[in-house]
Amino acid sequence: MSTASTRQDVKIYDKLYINGRWVAPAGSNMIEVTDSTTEEVMAQIPEGAAADIDSAVSAARAAFVSWSQTSKDERAKYLEAIAAGLAARRDEIAAVIASEVGMPLPLATAVQAGLPAMVMGSYAKLLSEYSFEEQVGNSLVVREPVGVVGCITPWNYPLHQVVAKVAPALAAGCTVVLKPSEVAPITAFILAEIIDEVALPAGAFNLVTGLGAVVGEAMAAHLDIDMISFTGSTRAGKRVSELAAQTIKRVALELGGKSASIVLDDADFEKAVSSSVGSCYFNSGQTCSAHTRLLVPRSRHTEAVEIARATAEKFTLGDPREGRAKLGPLVSAAQRERVLGYIKKGIEEGASLVTGGAEKPEGLDKGYFVRPTVFANVRTDMTIAQEEIFGPVLAIIPYESEDDAVRIANDTVYGLAGGVWSGDEERARRVARRLRTGQVDINGGKFNPLAPFGGYKQSGNGRELGKWGLEEFLETKSIQL
């Protein structure tokens, strides 16, 4: 059955998905979902309560008994069916995310809709190859599902971040309670509809929407949830960890980043700088692994600034659903104000504003748009060099030597991603190994959804994607023979 009704172009989702059924929430309050381009309400979803989490966890706990004992072939068939369902609704998913988040439709189709279907299918394939046990001396070492998993996901890649948790958790034999971001939740309902259509066993997957301070905290503290997998801000990740510690549950965190793109003196400067600008601005800068710091030799700082200026000024703003503009709006008014605050802070602290700025973009009276911005002569002690901005704002930082570049790149509480550009790949690899980050791209190496994704330091702990993502949801047992 459909979960939504339409009222004056506003889609109404008034039920939660618990124990294989669409059920009324415990309360009657609704949360409005806003179109980031029109600034108008596009949907309403239930404001779930702690009682809804209790119901969902009870269902997941009961379902775990049988779901954990299914064969990996059976689990793979369900994942394949869900992947096919996601692929069939690709255009709908892309259109929803273009409206919610603001990513231009062509990119939203390829990335926001295409990637989740691929990742879901990849776990079906991985199950056929993965061995859940091995013989070590006189011991049989077996890997078993951790139990009931609470998944809390963000708004910037709303379906991908959900699938990156739900797919490996189900593949491992865990049961799931999902709390998606209330800012961009609609694709979570689409996923639940697909899961219902493929008749996944009742209770294996449950969807509860609501506010983080209520539903998210109830999940993190819940005695019967064995693991929390959280993606979001470092501040919220700390709170999840505090609550989860009371029940000694496993916690996997994928948090913020302040990633550096290091352009060495022998690199193709035009390609390196322009590509780094593109990385920074992808999804309007609303990407945790975006390369938001550009490190260049001091002797070539002026050259880099001019390339960055020319590149940034080609990033046109406009309605993401039309598919012509390179950048859409930010996700919300609150996010726009946050990013504008950082731009103003950069100017106040003495960074050189190269292009962009805090003024409203011309010709865009509606929508949460921010001008693509570049700062030069940025010092490492400036706020814009240290804090995650989550908008289209690039900080160019000059360095004195290769060692100095590595020092600057590592001079942050984060450690999620980074890049190295060099005409000598071996030199680039040496520098990459010195960066305290979970991922490093060499000369623009492409994102690999089968490779582990996660961070060092305050960028979190644990890994997602590939076999490493599966193993996050497994316990290890030794059976002595």
Residue-wise pLDDT for 308-324, tens only, equals 999 999 999 999 999 89
115 belongs to a structural domain: yes
Query: Averaged over 143-161, what is the pLDDT?
Result: 98
- Active-site residue numbers? 254, 288
Assign 260 to helix, strand or coil: strand
Q: Which amino acid is located at 218 in the chain?
A: A
Specify whether 399 is located in the same domain as 464: no
CA atoms of 204 and 195, how far apart (whole Å) = 10
Instruction: Please choose, from the candidates 85, 250, 25, the residue with its C-alpha nearest in 3D space to the C-alpha of residue 151.
Output: 250
Q: What is the pLDDT of residue 323?
A: 85
Find out whether 45 and 30 touch, Cβ atoms under 8 Å: yes
**Residue 453 domain flag:** no
Q: Is the dihedral of CA 442, 436, 107, 327 positive or negative?
A: negative
Rounded to whole angstroms, the Cα distance separating 458 from 462 reads 12
Could you give the strand order of the β-sheet that contains 10-13, starting from the edge strand earlier in sequence?
4-7, 10-13, 41-46, 30-34
Given a cut of 80, is residue 441 above it in pLDDT?
A: yes
CA–CA distance, 110 with 116 (Å, rounded to integer): 10
Residue 8 has pLDDT above 80, yes or no: no
Q: How confident is the model at residue 9 (pLDDT cuts 50, 70, 90)?
A: confident
Q: How confident is the model at residue 205 (pLDDT cuts 50, 70, 90)?
A: very high
pLDDT at 141: 98
Place of tokens 């209790």: 54
CATH number of the domain to which 415 belongs? 3.40.309.10
Contact of 420 with 431, CB cutoff 8 Å: yes
- Side by side, the strands of the sheet bearing 474-480 are 133-136, 139-145, 474-480
Based on the fold, state whether residues 229 and 364 are members of the same structural domain: no
Does the residue 181 lie in any domain?
yes
Which domain, by its residues, includes 101?
A: 4-255+459-480
Q: Note whether 243 and 373 are same-domain residues.
A: no
Residues 48-71: what's their mean pLDDT?
98
One DSSP character per residue, 282-304 reads: GGGG--TT-EEEEEEEGGGHHHH
Q: Please state at what angle helix 402-410 crosses helix 425-434, rounded to 10 degrees.
A: 40
The per-residue pLDDT for range 392-427, each reduced to its tens digit, is 999 999 999 999 999 999 999 999 999 999 999 999
Instruction: Return the CATH number at 204.
Output: 3.40.605.10
pLDDT on residue 1: 46
Residues 388 and 243 in one domain: no
Q: What is the DSSP letter of 251?
A: E
| Mean pLDDT, rounded, of the chain | 97
Pairwise CA distance, residues 210 & 229, whole Å: 17
422 and 299 belong to one structural domain? yes
> Does the structure show a pLDDT above 90 at 7?
no
Judge if 344 and 467 occupy the same domain: no
Q: Are residues 334 and 350 in the same domain?
A: yes
% of the chain exceeding 90 in pLDDT? 98
- Does residue 4 carry a pLDDT above 90? no
Tell me if 192 is assigned to some domain. yes
pTM, entire model = 0.96
How many structural domains is the chain composed of? Answer: 2
- What's the pLDDT at 3? 61
Given a cut of 60, whether residue 356 has pLDDT beyond it is yes
Whether 470 and 364 map to the same domain: the answer is no
Asked if residue 143 is part of any domain, the answer here is: yes
Give mean pLDDT, residues 20-34.
Answer: 97
Both 266 and 174 in a single domain? no
- Pair 246, 279 in one domain: no
358 and 395 housed in the same domain:
yes
By CB atoms closer than 10 A (0-12, 13-18, 19+), residue 314 is exposed
* Residue 215 clears pLDDT 70, i.e. is over it: yes
Residue 102 located in a structural domain: yes
Residue 454 lies in a domain: no
Task: Tell me the mean pLDDT in the region 188-195.
Answer: 98
pLDDT for residue 6: 65
Q: How many CB atoms lie within 10 A of CB 386?
A: 15
Claim to verify: residue 164 and residue 215 sit in the same structural domain: yes
